[in-house]
Structure 1
Amino acid sequence: MIELDFRRRLGPLLLQVQVSVPSQGITAVFGRSGSGKTSLINAVAGLLRPDEGRIRVEQRVFFDAAARVDIPMEQRGIGYVFQDARLFPHLSVAGNLRYGLKRSGRTAAIGFDAVVEVLGIAPLLHRRPHALSGGERQRVALGRALLRQPTLLLMDEPLAALDAPRKTEVLPYIERLCHEFHLPALYVSHSVDEITRLAQHLVIVSEGRTVACGELTEVMSEPEHAPLIGRFEAGVVIDCRVARHDVHYQLSTLAFADGELRVPLVDLPEGTSVRARLRARDVALSLSTPTDLSLSNRLHGAVVSMTPREGPYVDVAIGLGSTVVRALVTRESCDRLGLAVGQPAWAMVKSVALDSRSVGFARRPRPADGSAA
């Protein structure tokens, strides 16, 4: 486990962290700008010294104020990827990568050739940073961090400076590298799309405090976290598998415990585990069997809760069995339909709302012993 229990005064903000997360897979640290996300991982890295508390990664204590333990950053076995790549402009890509290898001070368990292959940067090795795109620079920065032979990877909004096409380019490499090299990672982001696609675990930070921690699918789906995630980004995340493809209509069917979803064609083999994020704002409700509608996804269940939100909105949760979906509707609609807890209802969502940003490859972390997951 990664156990973080510390406090640090940052001007008017008191950073109070108290979480335990698994030391495998990607844990997203999510929150709004200024919430304390970067300060949290800087304390883990050794760039920020807590005023009090303790930081432990597996069996190693990085910091313990009471025991006067404070291991320097270079001895913590951390790989750090910043928002900007911070490559050395006078070195080639190969030189930047080998710098990370030389600085590791550890036996090279992660090899140069393996990193080059996983990140797809063989054609770039002789280039200088100025000749790379933003996405290519970040891939090289990831490679340099890996070649430091870290036991923990920290990523501070590594895609924030990239445009949408470059983000799409880099995301699959981040997915793959943590799986291939069995590295735990703390991934800081304020992008719901990124964390839904990448992370298995989620920590939410708000005004300096860690207010939620757990499995991503559970934390993202809790209605009380909607104000922190964002009114129009909140919803549920459902674990699915690719059931079949319809090449003629360019659609895929995703199966989950209580039904199926039709989505734009997913470029993954049948049987692959995926996640689907249903934003509450994309879900409409009907009390009668929907007919003559363009909406392909019609899920039958019953109202399990109705939570008033700021302004004219109500968050309505529909239980489908073991799965709950949520719809963001107006109070007027609730009154007009006469919605009440226990009432049967249909939850409907457009296929086009479940695009590539809402459906992602759900790669599970491999067990620490290296056996098949």
Structure 2
Amino acid sequence: MLNVDIKKRLVDFTLDVRFSVENNILVLFGPSGAGKTTILRSIAGLIKPDQGTISYCDQLFFCSVTKTFLAPQHRRVGYMFQEYALFPHMNVEKNIWYGVKGSNEKADELYGKLMDLLKIETLASRLIDKLSGGERQRVALARALMAQPNILLLDEPLSALDKDTRCELQAELRTMQSIWKIPFILVTHDPEEAKALGDQFLFIEKGRQVTQPVGWEN
């Protein structure tokens, strides 16, 4: 289980959240600028909260009391950025293998499984700028899972896609989570997407957890 209880002073407000998530999909829902991405970056170790703790199972990522701060590379947290952060000078295969420490039978098997599940076997040699938005999303997801993370963070991964592609990839994200059985934490401000993907919901406004927002049931 991932446990997060942190405070972080931002420009316009203080982020103050507390939540836990097991092996399901937690959606962080709220307007732009509410602090959702700051939560992801804190879990990944890209920024340091001011106070609190972050832990996964028996591993402490951050603790302000003991001054613990585990470096990002030791957290086994996958991060799928909103813009995907793929390398345009590399083909699909090299992007997916980027950051993997050497090839072995287990890694080769995982690579083949991801290519098959995400339906990108025919794209292995293609450069990133030759891919559609949906194809880039699949490649970014494959790269994140290729690192065999314990937690996967997704920052508005479908926001740039058309409606039909989004619906298709929402289903694929749920399938991948059910196979990997690790916490997925996904940021969105789209209520339809949140409801389609979420098992748990954390509603955030100006850094604070709030009750169900007005219009959520509509």
**Pairwise same-fold verdict (TM > 0.5):** yes
Structure 1's 35 and 85: CA in aligned 2 closer, same or farther, altered over 3 A?
same
> What is the correspondence of 1:106-121 to structure 2 with a 5 Å cutoff?
108=107, 111-121=110-120
Residue in 2 that maps onto 1:195: 194
> What is the correspondence of 1:64-75 to structure 2 with a 5 Å cutoff?
64-75=63-74
How far residue 206 of structure 1 moved from its aligned partner, in angstroms, is 1.3
> What is the correspondence of 1:1-373 to structure 2 with a 5 Å cutoff?
1-21=1-21, 23-102=22-101, 108=107, 111-212=110-211, 225-227=212-214, 231=215, 234-235=216-217, 279=218
Q: 2:121 is aligned with what amino acid?
A: A
Larger radius of gyration: 1
Q: 1:9 is aligned with what amino acid?
A: R
TM-score, with structure 2 as normaliser: 0.93
Structure 1's 160 and 52: CA in aligned 2 closer, same or farther, altered over 3 A?
same
Task: Report SS of the residue matched to 1:144.
Answer: helix
Q: Which of the two has greater strand per residue?
A: 1
What residue ranges of structure 1 are gaps of 5+ in the alignment? 213-224, 236-278, 280-373
Distance 2:99 2:187 in 1: 22
Distance 1:109 1:54 in 2: 36
Tell me, yes or no, if the aligned pair for 2:14 and 2:207 is still in contact at 8 Å. yes
What residue ranges of structure 2 are gaps of 5+ in the alignment? none
How far residue 15 of structure 1 moved from its aligned partner, in angstroms, is 0.5
Q: After TM superposition, what 4+ stretches of structure 1 lie above 4 angstroms from structure 2?
A: 107-110
Task: Report SS of the residue matched to 1:205.
Answer: strand
Larger relative contact order (CA 8 Å, sep ≥ 6): 2
Query: 1:338-363 CA deviation, whole Å, 9 max, x = no partner?
Result: xxxxxxxxxxxxxxxxxxxxxxxxxx
CA RMSD of aligned residues (A): 1.9
Task: Report SS of the residue matched to 1:173.
Answer: helix
Query: 1:67-92 CA deviation, whole Å, 9 max, x = no partner?
Result: 11100111100110011121111111
Tell me, yes or no, if the aligned pair for 2:203 and 2:213 is still in contact at 8 Å. no
Task: Report SS of the residue matched to 1:179.
Answer: helix
How far residue 103 of structure 1 moved from its aligned partner, in angstroms, is 8.3
Task: Report SS of the residue matched to 1:160.
Answer: coil
Q: 2:82 is aligned with what amino acid?
A: Q
Distance 1:146 1:167 in 2: 19
Distance 2:14 2:108 in 1: 39
Structure 1's 110 and 171: CA in aligned 2 closer, same or farther, altered over 3 A?
farther
Q: Which of the two has greater helix per residue?
A: 2
TM-score, with structure 1 as normaliser: 0.55
Residue in 2 that maps onto 1:215: none
Q: State percent identity of aligned pairs.
A: 37
Alignment: residue pair count: 216
Q: 1:161 is aligned with what amino acid?
A: A
Structure 1's 31 and 8: CA in aligned 2 closer, same or farther, altered over 3 A?
same
Distance 1:143 1:161 in 2: 18
How far residue 108 of structure 1 moved from its aligned partner, in angstroms, is 4.7
Q: 1:13 is aligned with what amino acid?
A: F
Tell me, yes or no, if the aligned pair for 1:97 and 1:147 is still in contact at 8 Å. yes
Distance 2:109 2:172 in 1: 16
How far residue 100 of structure 1 moved from its aligned partner, in angstroms, is 3.9
Tell me, yes or no, if the aligned pair for 1:100 and 1:145 is still in contact at 8 Å. no
Structure 1's 208 and 115: CA in aligned 2 closer, same or farther, altered over 3 A?
same
